[in-house]
Amino acid sequence: MRRLLTAMIIGCLSVALLHAQTTLTFTGRTVNDQYVPLSRVVVSNLTKGWQETLTWPDTVLEMSATGIHDVETVCTPSLRLSQNTPNPFDGTTFVNLQVAEPDDVTITVTDIAGRIVGANNYSPLQPGIFQMRISFSSPGLYFLTARQNGQTASIKMMNQGNGGENAITISTIVGANNDSPLPQQKIAHRGTTNNPLDLGDQMEYVGFAMLNGMDEESGHKTQELNASQTVVLSFPNTLPCHDSPTVTDVEGNVYNTVQIGDQCWMRENLRATMFADSTPIPHGFLYSEPGPHYYNDSTSYIPLEERGYLYDWAAAMHEETPSNAVPSGVQGICPDGWHLPSNAEWMILLDYVRGQPEYNCAGNPLSTSKALSSPSWWNNFTAECCPGNQSLYPNNATGFRAVPTGTYWTYGYEDTGISASFWTSTDFVEIDGIVCYYSIDYDTNEMLRGLCVTDHRFSVRCISN
């Protein structure tokens, strides 16, 4: 008997499929059970040895003994949204809304944490196509949803600027319903292959979603293909800080943030060339321009947006007094409202990560370096709980995203692809001129504290006051 598998990320499916059928509905959740909108799902048949990708909005996949084919849905939605243009956008964007039935339409905009930032109810809208003007006051990833008579249409929008306010307005009617410039909605797999499938096959599912402006990977779920079910794909709790999803330095550089326990951290390395008071940091002495930052002895270059600048301790501290307090009270090189973390604050981070089983590689609470490390740029290494090996336990479960930028000192750049090192605001009182830093290496399973002279240049991560 021909077996069919229909896999849905989101969408409408009203066509009656004959023969034996198994329906898989994929949904994304964080470790704290918050909803995550999926952008694509990679489906692998481990028994038969093939792999396919479901990509929104092409999200229905028909798999049988003879192949995989595009499947058109016979459900023609009466409520549709076009993708906003442009996307990403700088504060203001435009979306076309198509309405086929005269009735109330509710428009809601939420941010990546699920908070409503704008909502309007139009009572009623007549059939037609309407252009909506959407503006946001803060950068970030947003979700626009239209609802009418139990139908829902939704799109993702990436804002990179300040539109002055959070607002939704219908600016003009752009066409009658039968002259729609919107493409007909299709729910289908993108390609046609010849992949066999049987109930009982061992399957693996991996989801991807835009979290905090980054394309994040879920945990890998492996199970037999049996009855219809919802497959929950678990994502790390990498949501931005509630009150500060981004932070902007005095030069206009925007940094994403991540909430880890009770701490709000920058998700990215600092790349400022000025202190918060607009005083320039002396170039070539206190910070380093991007150098030959390659990894795996290749020509693969780590871009500035990923690695930031390297600073010596004088630049990181900006002539302030060393501290091991919580908070440190040392703004140093950090933007207003943020500070250079003390040794004690780094220890709070590590203690929290060690206490969360989902962040512990192979169940070892000391094996946390992978959970704190970027998915990219590390040199290869064989040990399964080191950042250089992602075959079993994916990197970056916490969202901290440590990048192996290496260091710079008297003899130049070294250890790119090997280590990620960060300054603290704490000195080592027993020896003058020695201070504390934290590092992760590609071949170690822990983030460790080290002691170093102040003229080395490391990365800087700031933490919210």
pLDDT (tens digit, 9 = 90+) per residue, 137-154?
Answer: 888 888 888 888 878 888
pTM for the complete prediction? Answer: 0.56
Largest CA distance in the chain: 79
How buried is residue 264: exposed, middle or buried, by Cβ count under 10 Å (0-12/13-18/19+)? buried
- What is the distance, to the nearest Å, from the Cα of residue 120 to the centroid of all Cα atoms in its chain? 28
pLDDT tens-digit profile of 97-119? Answer: 888 778 888 888 888 777 788 88
Please report the pLDDT score of residue 173 as a whole number: 53
Across 108-135, b (16+ Cβ under 10 Å) vs e yields bbbbbeeeebbeeebeebeebbbbbebb
Domain ranges for the chain: 3-71+187-235, 79-179, 246-464
Place of tokens 């058109």: 72
Residues of the chain with pLDDT under 50: 1-20, 57-76, 174-193, 290-292, 295
Which tens digit of pLDDT belongs to each residue from 296-349? 555 567 778 888 999 999 999 999 999 999 999 999 999 999 999 999 999 999
Q: Has domain 79-179 been given CATH number 1.10.10.1100? A: no
Report DSSP state, residue 183: P
Predicted pLDDT at 400: 94
Single-letter amino acid, residue 32: N
At 175 the pLDDT is 43
CA dihedral of 41, 43, 44, 48, whole degrees rounded to 10: -170
Q: Three-state SS string across 209-224, please?
A: EEECCEEEECCCEEEE
